[in-house]
Amino acid sequence: DALTGILNQSGFRFKVSDILREGEFSGALVIFDITDFTYINRVYGFQEGDRILKELAMRLRSIFMRSDIIGKLGGDEFGLFIYPLRSKEDVLSIVKKLKSVFYEPFKVKDEEIPLSFHAGISIYPEDGKNYLELYERAYIALKEAKKGAIGEISFFNKEMEDKAEEFLSVEKLIKKAVENKLFILHFQPYYRLKDLKVAGFEALVRIKPGKKLIYPGEFIELIERGVFADEFEEWMFDELSRILSKWRIPISVNLSARSFKNDKTMEKLIELCKTFKGNLVLEITERLLIEDIERTKKVLGSFRSCGKVALDDFGTEYSSLSYMRELPIDIVKIDMSFIRGMLNNKADRALVEVIVSYAEKIGLDSLAEGIEKEEQYKILKELGCTYGQGFYFAKPMPEEKVEELLRREGLTSL
């Protein structure tokens, strides 16, 4: 991990997987994250947040043994693999060591800030025979811990088995989709509101194991956490290359935290962008863009030399207009919750007006998500919103329907 100097998500997974192949022993996989770390970033700034993460990594290395594996799994989430375990007392020792990491407050500027955590633990080999099984069970335990008090540590137990089986079922689905090429893209158009011309399409992934479509809500979280992520990414790049070489129109794609934080992935996206100049749009959430503001400016600055960046779901996270000015973006996507609410909620309508007006003043385009009614479309057009997307215009559609729409609109594909 470039920030902390410990293993990143991929390195941690590979290292633990190698150890699990070495022979018979007992071990424990611990996943923990810092409670309310976004508050630290928001109040004290991202440089201070990064400094805390570096110090936390140093504390972990000083307290745990050299043989223990330490990794940063993303954001403020860390992983520990402790082995060999000789008795149950060793597991209690892990808990004590982890708590001791947070005994001393962290110094932020001139203040001492006490931090805490939640953690989930799975035991090898009882809770899983490989990294994926152990990770899933530790992650389920972490989610259970977050339901309790600050500092809660939860061990995976048989009562959580149903949730583990759900995870494994989704994992099998992803594996099947990778092996049998069951991933497909559907495309939802967005329109220029002033003349209702198609301005571009958002690419949305689905799994189609038969006649029924399976939507991202059922599988994308596991992919973003590393389950067949490399294989999925390779498929996505191939599909984007094929589509962009075929259509002369912007295609926007949602970028996950995992992909954005991977330098090699971003380099590949920039190369793809250069090949199809002007027609690739990256959609990135507010939270992801401001996690590492300096890296964001550098990476997206390179991408914007040939493509565009859209700030997705604006208003649902930190809702600061200053981010619209400071971040390297071209389009602001207004979250559908405000579009749905603006007909009956004065506050929602006022917020939409402010976002659209401010975006125009600083040279950004605005795109309203989730337009479902004619009245919403008319209000947004009157406000000067640049683009609109939603079921009022069109639902996501397969590739052949896109071809028909392009022909009707007089937009030729190559």
Range(s) of the chain covered by CATH 3.30.70.270: 9-156
DSSP state string for 248-311: SS-EEEEPPHHHHT-HHHHHHHHHHHHHTTT-EEEEEEHHHHHHTHHHHHHHHHHHTTTSEEEE
* Most confident of the ranges 61-65, 214-218, 348-352: 348-352
Q: E strand or H helix at 154, and its extent?
A: strand 153-155
- Predicted confidence band at 414 (pLDDT cuts at 50, 70, 90)? very low
Strands 197-207 and 387-388: unpaired
Residues 232-271: pLDDT tens digits?
Answer: 999 999 999 999 999 989 999 998 877 887 888 899 999 9
> In percent, how much of the chain has pLDDT > 70?
96
What span, in angstroms and rounded, lies between the C-alpha atoms of 29 and 13? 11
- Predicted confidence band at 37 (pLDDT cuts at 50, 70, 90)? confident
Of 147, 136, 250, 150, nearest in space to 202 by CA: 250
On whether the CB atoms of residues 206 and 185 are closer than 8 A, the answer is yes
Beta bridge mates, 108: 111
Q: Which tokens in the block code for residue 196?
A: 């209702």
What CATH superfamily is the domain 9-156?
Reverse transcriptase/Diguanylate cyclase domain (3.30.70.270)
Report the chain's mean pLDDT, rounded to a whole number.
88
Mean pLDDT of 203-215: 91
Radius of gyration in angstroms for the set of CA atoms belonging to the chain, rounded to a whole number? 23
Q: Per-residue pLDDT for 181 more than 50? A: yes
pTM of the model as a whole: 0.72
Mean pLDDT of 163-183: 85
Strands 106-108 and 183-192: unpaired
Range(s) of the chain covered by CATH 3.20.20.450: 171-409
- Predicted confidence band at 182 (pLDDT cuts at 50, 70, 90)? very high
Mean pLDDT of 293-297: 78
List the CATH code of the domain at 171-409.
3.20.20.450
Residue 270: φ, ψ to 5°: -65, -40
Q: Per-residue pLDDT for 59 more than 60? A: yes
Residues 115-142: pLDDT tens digits?
Answer: 899 999 999 999 999 998 899 899 999 9
On whether the CB atoms of residues 80 and 70 are closer than 8 A, the answer is yes
Q: Per-residue pLDDT for 283 more than 90? A: yes
C-alpha triplet 195, 197, 202: angle, nearest 5°: 135
Mean pLDDT of 286-306: 81
CA 370 to chain centre: 21
On whether the CB atoms of residues 142 and 118 are closer than 8 A, the answer is yes
Strand order in the sheet with 27-34: 69-74, 77-82, 27-34, 117-124, 153-155
- Predicted confidence band at 109 (pLDDT cuts at 50, 70, 90)? confident
Q: Which tokens in the block code for residue 302?
A: 């390179």
What span, in angstroms and rounded, lies between the C-alpha atoms of 133 and 234? 24
What does each C-alpha distance from 26 to 22, 86, 91 come to in angstroms?
12, 7, 10
SS3 of the chain: helix, strand, coil, percent, to 5: 50, 20, 30
What pLDDT does 201 receive?
97
What pLDDT does 319 receive?
53
* Most confident of the ranges 3-17, 19-33, 368-382, 398-412: 368-382
What pLDDT does 291 receive?
67
Q: Per-residue pLDDT for 318 more than 60? A: no
What span, in angstroms and rounded, lies between the C-alpha atoms of 128 and 52? 32
Mean pLDDT of 362-389: 96
Q: Per-residue pLDDT for 372 more than 80? A: yes
What pLDDT does 257 receive?
79
C-alpha triplet 302, 303, 308: angle, nearest 5°: 135
